[in-house]
């Protein structure tokens, strides 16, 4: 396993991140334990979760959020392997129905962090990520809250998720003014079918030394051999069938290319992401241990220049970086 620096930090993480959104909802605790055991045995040392994972992700529905963190906490207690993983979770989403039970106010950040620590059964979070940007809370307040958590030893690094490029820039300018490290990573939607962040986000992350951690690397299943087997999972159903029909010519060309190079479609999708130097790690969210084992094989897959060019033809990006992509 060739570990990578998380952005500009000295922290080393595996090129694949174990995403645990399915834990507690589509994957029970027993299978989740098996997946975490196999991930660690396979060299994956970066586990990612969120306070809302494990259920409907809404406090207005039957309570299920927080289950993913609890399952990880149970596994850590059972195995004693806390110091072998880089543990990441998130804050922002509503956890209760009160007006201050969501967002990035200092009030909510403190309470949410304490609750995550309790569910995870640990005294510190290695990477604490803002799940979305909160445009109603000033960066001075957010960074003050994060700095306090760092001083108390409850978190080590701060990341973001689902930000726009200008949010990243604003956050870093505010952090630098406070002589604070600021963001070290950003989780964004990025895969062969969704390449919008190549316009502005990737250049911004490169400029600030922030590691990119793409989520949905296999395009909700479209890049995982969808023509033959996409009948189950979190996003299966009529909407996915409709999307597959819209993109059928591209999916057919993609799967043909994968057959030609002798690699599974999901592995090619992951390998394509990992060839980008801005990408620190791609999040994989296996529902079953078999999915994880296939994902691990993508780490050693080398894509030739010809294959990369053909992938660009099948799944064209936005034309490069802004403003050159559209200004001239």
Which of the 8 DSSP states describes residue 299? G
Q: Report the alpha-carbon distance of residue 250 to residue 246 in Å, rounded.
A: 9
Cα 213 from chain centre = 5
Domain boundaries, the chain: 4-327
pLDDT of residue 234: 46
Catalytic one of 53, 65, 190, 208 = 53
Average pLDDT over residues 281-306: 94
Q: What is the CA radius of gyration of the chain?
A: 19
Quick check: 60 pLDDT over 70?
Answer: no
pLDDT in tens, 168-219: 999 999 999 999 999 999 999 999 999 999 999 999 999 999 999 999 999 9
pLDDT(229) > 80: no
How many helices (H) and strands (E) are present in the chain, helices listed first? 13, 10
β-pairing verdict for 12-13 and 16-19: unpaired
Burial 176-207 (b: 16+ CB within 10 A, else e): eeeebbbbbbbbbbbbbbbbebbbbbbbbbee
Contacts of 11 (CB under 8 A, 6+ apart): 5, 86, 126, 156, 157, 184
Average pLDDT, the chain: 94
Average pLDDT over residues 255-264: 97
Q: Answer whether residue 130 shows pLDDT above 60.
A: yes
Q: What is the C-alpha to C-alpha distance for residues 41 and 186, in angstroms, rounded to an integer?
A: 26
Question: In this predicted model, what pLDDT tens digit does every residue of 17-58 receive, in sequence order?
Answer: 999 999 998 999 999 999 999 999 999 999 999 999 987 665
> What is the CATH topology of the domain spanning 4-327?
TIM Barrel (3.20.20)
Tell me, yes or no, if 53 is annotated catalytic. yes
Run of H or E including 31: helix 29-41
Rounded average pLDDT over 283-298: 92
Residue 301: per-residue pLDDT: 96
Query: Contact at 8 Å (CB) between 202 and 278?
Result: yes
Full-model pTM: 0.94
Instruction: Round to whole Å and give the CA distance between 212 and 278.
Output: 6
User: Can you give the pLDDT at residue 214?
Assistant: 98
Instruction: Give me the pLDDT at residue 2, please.
Output: 94
Q: Give the span between the Cα atoms of 281 and 291, in whole angstroms.
A: 17
CA–CA distance, 115 with 109 (Å, rounded to integer): 10
Question: Rounded mean pLDDT of 275-288?
Answer: 96
In this structure, are residues 221 and 247 in contact, taking their beta carbons and an 8 Å threshold? Answer: no
């Amino acid at each position: 396993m060739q570990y990578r620096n998380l952005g500009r930090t000295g922290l080393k993480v595996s090129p694949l991140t174990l995403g645990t959104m399915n834990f507690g909802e589509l994957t029970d605790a027993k299978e989740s334990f098996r997946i975490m055991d196999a991930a660690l045995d396979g060299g994956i040392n970066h586990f990612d979760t969120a306070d809302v994972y494990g259920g409907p992700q809404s406090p207005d529905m039957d309570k299920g959020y927080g289950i993913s963190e609890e399952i990880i906490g149970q596994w850590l207690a059972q195995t004693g392997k806390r110091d072998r993983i880089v543990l990441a979770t998130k804050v922002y989403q509503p956890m209760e129905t009160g007006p201050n039970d969501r967002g990035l106010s200092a009030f909510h950040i403190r309470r949410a962090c304490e609750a995550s620590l309790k569910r995870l059964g640990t005294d510190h979070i290695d990477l604490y990520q803002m799940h979305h940007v909160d445009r109603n809370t000033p960066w001075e307040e957010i960074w003050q809250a994060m700095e306090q958590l760092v001083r108390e030893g409850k978190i080590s690094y701060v990341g973001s998720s689902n930000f726009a490029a200008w949010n990243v820039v604003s956050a870093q300018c505010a952090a630098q003014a406070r002589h604070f490290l600021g963001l070290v990573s950003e989780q964004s939607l990025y895969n062969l079918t969704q390449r919008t962040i190549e316009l502005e986000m990737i250049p911004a992350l490169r400029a600030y030394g922030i590691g990119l951690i793409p989520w949905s690397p296999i395009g909700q299943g479209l890049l995982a051999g969808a023509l033959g087997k996409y009948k189950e999972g979190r996003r299966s159903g009529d909407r996915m069938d409709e999307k597959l029909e819209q993109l059928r010519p591209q999916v057919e060309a993609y799967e043909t290319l994968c057959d030609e190079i002798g690699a599974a479609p999901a592995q090619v999708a992951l390998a394509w992401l990992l060839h980008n130097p801005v990408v620190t790690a791609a999040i994989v969210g296996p529902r079953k241990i078999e999915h994880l084992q296939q994902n691990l094989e993508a780490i050693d897959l080398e894509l030739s220049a010809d294959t990369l060019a053909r992938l660009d033809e099948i799944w064209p990006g936005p034309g490069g970086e802004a403003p050159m992509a559209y200004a001239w």
